[in-house]
Structure 1
Amino acid sequence: MADLATYIALPIFIKQVVDQTELNLRRLHALGLEKIAIPSLPPLGCLPLYTSPQGCNDTFNALVNYHNSLLEQVVANLNNEARQSTFAVIDFYNAFMAILTNKGESPGSKRFETPLKPCCEGSCGNVVEKGANKYTLCDDPESAFFWDGLHPTQQGWKFIYSVLGKALSASLLKL
């Protein structure tokens, strides 16, 4: 029953988070910031921590999409009020999904053969008293998109920014 209550309360909480973000953006703008970029949430349902053998958690991703949609509306409204493009959303969600779906920079790439599998599994970075690892590492970290259950690898971030590249430059230039 607690799970149902949580799922009912999450959209309310997400709305409160985005409302607070709007307030903070207004404050930053009032302090004189003229150009502000806001990252969208990545597909949290695709983090290895939340995936299953069937793939990404669609419920989590639906909640992320709700958040990102509200954020886009807030940014559009703020830009209308400012009568210029002062605010821009950096679309991490679609950048992550492009890589996870295509396993890399271009369709058919073998770069990230299993993109939802982390390189480090277990208690990453921790050792027991006698120095034995409490984790295992993949053989080639550059072939892994995720380092652990939450964080992309350095190579993963490189690919994210390569996907964001032109859109990011265009968004920031119009600010």
Structure 2
Amino acid sequence: MVAGLPPIGCLPLLVTVNSILPSQHWFQRVCNVQQNKDSQDYNMKLQSHIHSLHNNLKDAKVGYFDIYTPILDMAQNPDKYGFKETLTGCCGTGLLEIGPGCNKFDITCLDATKYLFWDAVHPTQSGYWFLAQNAQQTVLPYVAS
């Protein structure tokens, strides 16, 4: 299974960076449309390469896992998934912290299940749960058959 890129323009880190750069969305926490388009373009090329693998490796099964669509849907329709916050992370300020920047010494939100992102780039367990459900329905039947 090969996962594509998420809607990188909706990652809290890039939402933060884009909000402080002079633009039409200056000081606004919104997804960056161009960065999301870049993710889509990359994902299309990746799918094309996976298709080439299928042609060259007849006995191999390589499934493409679209994480872009479900993460974008979670970001745009938080109520559908039980989220209250989708453009900031649960850890620290939720704006810039990544990985080791989120540790037991940092403050965290009161209920991580209400957040799509744990830190400024990684989904929470709830976010990953929805992604896993999606993979179970879309990719695993193909690679397991």
Say what the alpha-carbon RMSD is for the aligned residues: 2.3
Q: Distance in 2 between matches of 1:110 and 1:79?
A: 34
- 2:98 is aligned with 1:98: no
Q: Give yes or no for contact 1:79–1:85 (8 Å, CA) kept in 2.
A: yes
Q: Give yes or no for contact 2:92–2:102 (8 Å, CA) kept in 1.
A: no
Greater Cα radius of gyration, structure 1 or 2: 1
- 2:112 is aligned with 1:141: yes
Structure 1 residue aligned with 2:22: none
* TM-score w.r.t. length of structure 1: 0.63
* TM-score w.r.t. length of structure 2: 0.75
Q: Report the identity percentage.
A: 27
Structure 1 residue aligned with 2:140: 169
2:130 is aligned, of 149, 156, 159, to: 159
Q: Distance in 2 between matches of 1:72 and 1:47?
A: 22
For structure 1, the 5+ residue unaligned runs are 1-36, 128-132
Q: Which amino acid aligns with 1:158?
A: W
Paired residue secondary structure (2:63): strand
Paired residue secondary structure (1:117): strand
Q: How many residues align?
A: 128
1:75 is aligned, of 44, 50, 70, to: 50
Paired residue secondary structure (1:137): coil
- 2:6 is aligned with 1:42: yes
Runs of 4+ in 1 over 4 A off after TM superposition: none
For structure 2, the 5+ residue unaligned runs are 20-27
Q: Which amino acid aligns with 1:38?
A: V
Q: Which amino acid aligns with 1:41?
A: L
